[in-house]
């Protein structure tokens, strides 16, 4: 491909609305252009990268025995209502009505669609297991699209769904997909960590996210350096290094705390640690109400609470609801007027027999020496793990201190169990002729997100340095020549490399060498060949390894002289990927 007949709209300056490296560089390198908030058009170079990522995903999925389909993006509301997720998916789902006033949505995921498609195709246990997938467009009405394609409203995703006769069969495919995902990410040049995760709206018995450690990650990982445990902070059980005894003494007294509502304000005012205070969180869920008590130094993990309650929507109580239960915002504590409509839960880290500072249920007043055992019966008020894990908590496997890292999720696998097969009665006849519900697995990869995440890992002050496996072109030939004759000599080399099946872009544009060099480094072609005065006078070609920025000049006597050097660099650039794949095997 010649750059003179290509479109390479690079820019020098960072876009004003881009804050992370991948977003800035995708725009500056001419890979994408913003259409609207959370919507991006892929330009030729960006699309080549995206298609190479898709190709790797497809190859590995096919090798794992999965079968590729393509389903409609527009899905009927009736199948979502049948599964019970039409309301549960919330405002993130794009919903619309057609001219016949029939409700539809733009699919954010395709469990329902694949179940209705596969159901009449599998009738016997002999038809199982089966693993079906697609690489297709998804939609999610993000409230705050950000970080370019890392969190967009329209995105490309590989989603797969497996159907099995029993849990043993599901586990075999789950483990195969786990390895397949590690292979895919290794081939993309991504170093991932599988972490235990919350299944959320997907449901199911097991779930793992594939995370790439990054300071811009929106997820927090808890990692144990001793045993290798890794989990999403939303899933990690809290095992504190120690449960503090709170305040000594059995005397409960009311203390004036004028204007002090927050834990930080109260603890500072009374000169006590935040861990010796009680935090009360009043929430509404699906038309019901719950009050949670935690130690003041901890945050509520809403995912744990939603899972325990089986809730779809969770939000803080409004003032009208607080008034209904006679709760005083900022001063809620044990001893409030109990109501059968209000469920009370206590975090497992709270010591029921220790004295805490808590709200006195009166404006501008708190109590000191409050013991939960005085106010609640353990038989009526459940004590469960509801706190957010944090760095320094103990590993649930080996009790070593956990470390915290930010991470970007690039893939997710689930054991769905029979949630969807039951909703759609996806059953087969077993070997005894009895109808048996299938058991399902689900496996997703964010294709666009992988592209952006690679950039987050592979960039420097000059731009991007792509892993050679997904680079838009492996080689960029920069020519510096003016006459027709000189260009003809360079063209001979270019045509020779093309015939030899090298993935090459010839930058033959009528631009200065500095501009071309900067473009090649910004876009991130793994190998750059420079052919100018040195080549025209002394047959010298300069070869640059973009990742290391190391240059080497060779004398060109035959095409094999050049291909030999190119192949050396290609082998070096592929070496780390090969080593990762060998380690997985």
DSSP letter string, 391-457: TTSBPTTT-PBPEEEEEEEEEEEEEEETHHHHHTT-EEE-TTS-EEE-EEEEEEEEHHHHHHHHHHH
Same domain assignment for residues 121 and 223: yes
Q: Is residue 261 part of a domain?
A: yes
Residues 23 and 157 in one domain: yes
Structural domain boundaries enclosing 297 = 253-384
Task: Give the burial string for 519-534 (b: 16+ CB within 10 Å, else e).
Answer: bbbbbbbbbbbbbbeb
* Tokens of residue 213, six digits: 């450690």
Degrees to nearest 5, angle at CA 366 with 362 and 370 = 115
Q: Is 444 domain-assigned?
A: yes
Same domain, 534 and 427: no
**161 shares its domain with 124:** yes
Q: Domain containing 433 — which CATH number?
A: 3.30.930.10
Mark whether 39 and 121 lie in a shared domain. yes
Q: What is the pLDDT of residue 556?
A: 93
Q: Are 368 and 248 in contact (CB under 8 A)?
A: no
The CA distances from residue 435 to 163, 412, 426, 470, 577, in Å, are 15, 31, 10, 46, 46
Residues 24 and 162 in one domain: yes
- Is 13 inside a domain boundary? no
Tokens at 443, concatenated: 């496996």
Specify the pLDDT at position 196. 83
Helix, strand, coil in percent for the chain, rounding step 5? 30, 30, 40
Quote the CA–CA distance of 361 and 364 in Å, as a whole number.
Answer: 9
Structural domain contains residue 55: yes
User: Are 333 and 359 within 8 A, CB to CB?
Assistant: yes
User: What does the alpha-carbon distance between residue 494 and residue 278 come to, in Å, rounded to a whole number?
Assistant: 72
Q: Print burial letters for 89-117: b (CB count within 10 Å at least 16), e (below 16).
A: beeebbeeeeeeeeebbbbbbbbbbbbbe
- pLDDT tens across the length of the chain (585 residues): 999 999 999 999 988 889 999 999 999 999 999 999 999 999 999 999 999 999 999 999 999 999 999 999 999 999 999 999 998 888 899 999 999 999 999 999 999 999 999 999 999 999 999 999 999 999 999 988 999 999 999 999 999 999 999 999 999 999 999 999 999 999 999 999 999 876 555 445 578 999 999 999 988 999 999 998 998 888 899 987 666 566 645 688 999 999 998 999 999 999 999 999 999 999 999 899 999 999 999 999 998 999 899 887 899 999 999 999 999 999 999 999 989 899 999 999 999 988 999 999 999 999 999 999 999 987 789 899 999 999 999 999 999 999 999 999 999 999 999 999 999 999 999 999 999 999 999 999 999 999 999 999 999 999 999 999 999 999 999 999 989 999 999 999 999 999 999 999 999 999 999 999 999 999 999 999 999 999 999 999 999 999 999 999 999 999 999 999 999 999 999 988 888 888 776
Tell me the CA end-to-end span of the chain in Å, nearest whole number: 37
Q: Are residues 431 and 531 in the same domain?
A: no
Tell me how many domains the chain contains: 3
Question: Of 384, 414, 440, which closes a domain?
Answer: 384
Q: How many CB atoms lie within 10 A of CB 209?
A: 26
Question: Is residue 318, in this structure, part of any structural domain at all?
Answer: yes
Locate 294 and state its tokens. Answer: 């935690």
Residue 579 has a pLDDT of 84
Cα three-residue angle 83-414-451, rounded to 5 degrees: 110
Shared domain check, 434 and 373: no
Pair (351, 371) in one structural domain: yes
Q: What is the 3-state secondary structure (H, E, C) of 465-510?
A: CCCCCCCCCCEEEEECCCCHHHHHHHHHHHHHHHHCCCCEEEECCC
Q: Which helix (H) or strand (E) holds 185?
A: helix 167-187
- Among left, alpha and beta (phi > 0; psi -120 to 50; other), residue 519 is alpha
Cβ within 8 Å of residue 463, ≥6 positions away: 25, 28, 29, 521, 522, 523, 524
Residue 476 lies in a domain: yes
List the Cα angle 403/406/412 in 5-degree steps. 105
Task: Give the largest CA-CA distance in the chain.
Answer: 98
Distance from C-alpha of 100 to C-alpha of 307, rounded to nearest angstrom: 37
Among 436, 456, 476, give the residue marking a domain's end. 456
Do 144 and 227 belong to one domain? yes
Contact 367, 359 (CB under 8 A): yes
Report the distance separating Cα 382 and Cα 305, nearest Å: 12
Whether residues 220 and 332 share a domain: the answer is no
Residues 210 and 283 placed together within one structural domain of the fold:
no
pLDDT at 175: 95
Neighbouring residues of 581: CB distance < 8 A, sequence distance ≥ 6: 183, 186, 187
Rounded Cα distance between 93 and 353, Å, is 46
DSSP letters, 303-355, are HHHHHHHT-S-EEEPPHHHHHHTT--TT---TTS---TTEEEEEETTS-TTSB
Q: Does residue 2 belong to any structural domain of this protein?
A: no
Q: How far is CA 145 from the centre of its chain?
A: 14
């Amino acid at each position: 491909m010649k750059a003179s007949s290509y479109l390479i709209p690079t820019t020098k300056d960072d876009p004003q609305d881009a804050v992370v490296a991948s977003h800035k560089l995708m725009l500056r390198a001419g890979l994408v252009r913003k259409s609207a908030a959370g919507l991006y058009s892929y330009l030729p170079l960006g699309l080549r990268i995206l298609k190479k990522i898709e190709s790797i995903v497809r190859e590995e999925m096919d090798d794992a025995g999965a079968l590729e389909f393509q389903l409609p993006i527009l899905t009927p509301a009736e199948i979502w209502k049948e599964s019970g997720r039409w309301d549960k998916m919330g405002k993130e789902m794009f919903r619309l009505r057609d001219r016949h006033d029939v409700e539809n949505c733009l699919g954010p995921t395709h469990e329902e669609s694949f179940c209705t498609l596969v159901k009449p195709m599998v009738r016997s246990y002999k038809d199982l297991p089966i693993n079906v997938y697609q690489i297709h467009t998804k939609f999610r009405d993000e409230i705050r699209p950000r970080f370019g394609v890392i969190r967009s409203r329209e995105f490309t995703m590989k989603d797969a769904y497996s159907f099995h006769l029993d849990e043993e069969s599901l586990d075999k495919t789950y483990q195969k997909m786990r390895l397949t995902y590690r292979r895919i990410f290794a081939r993309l040049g991504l170093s991932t960590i599988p972490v235990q995760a919350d299944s959320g709206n997907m449901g199911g018995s097991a779930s793992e996210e594939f995370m790439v450690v990054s300071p811009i990650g929106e997820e927090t990982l808890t990692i144990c350096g001793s045993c290798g445990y890794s989990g999403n902070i939303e899933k990690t059980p809290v095992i504190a290094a120690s449960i503090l005894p709170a305040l000594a003494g059995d005397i409960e007294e009311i203390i004036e705390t004028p204007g002090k509502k927050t834990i930080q304000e109260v603890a500072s005012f009374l000169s006590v640690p935040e861990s010796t205070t009680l935090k009360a969180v009043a929430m509404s869920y699906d038309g019901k109400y719950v009050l949670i008590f935690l130690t003041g130094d901890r945050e509520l993990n809403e995912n744990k609470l939603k899972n325990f309650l089986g809730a779809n929507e969770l939000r803080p109580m409004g003032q009208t609801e607080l008034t209904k239960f006679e709760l005083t915002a900022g001063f809620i504590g044990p001893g409030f007027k109990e109501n059968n409509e209000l469920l009370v839960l206590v975090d497992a880290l709270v010591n029921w027999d220790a004295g805490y500072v808590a709200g006195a249920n009166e404006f501008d007043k708190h109590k000191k020496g409050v013991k939960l055992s005085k106010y609640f019966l353990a038989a009526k008020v459940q004590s469960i793990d509801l706190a957010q894990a944090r760095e320094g908590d103990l590993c649930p496997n080996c009790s070593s201190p956990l470390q915290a890292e930010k991470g970007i999720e690039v893939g997710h696998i689930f054991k769905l169990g029979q949630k969807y097969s039951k909703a759609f009665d996806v059953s087969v006849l077993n070997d005894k002729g009895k109808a048996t519900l299938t058991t399902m697995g689900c496996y997703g990869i964010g294709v666009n997100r992988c592209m952006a995440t690679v950039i987050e890992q592979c960039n420097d002050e000059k731009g991007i340095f792509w892993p050679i496996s997904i680079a838009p072109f492996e080689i960029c030939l920069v020519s510096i020549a003016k006459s027709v004759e000189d260009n003809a000599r360079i063209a001979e080399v270019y045509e020779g490399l093309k015939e030899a099946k090298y993935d090459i872009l010839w930058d033959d544009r009528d631009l200065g060498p500095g501009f071309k060099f900067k473009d090649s480094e910004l876009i991130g072609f793994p190998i750059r060949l420079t052919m100018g005065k040195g080549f025209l006078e002394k047959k010298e070609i300069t070869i640059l390894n973009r990742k290391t920025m190391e240059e080497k000049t060779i004398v060109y006597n035959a095409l094999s002289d050049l291909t030999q050097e190119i192949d050396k660099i290609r082998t070096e650039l592929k070496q780390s990927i090969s080593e990762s794949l060998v380690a997985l095997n």
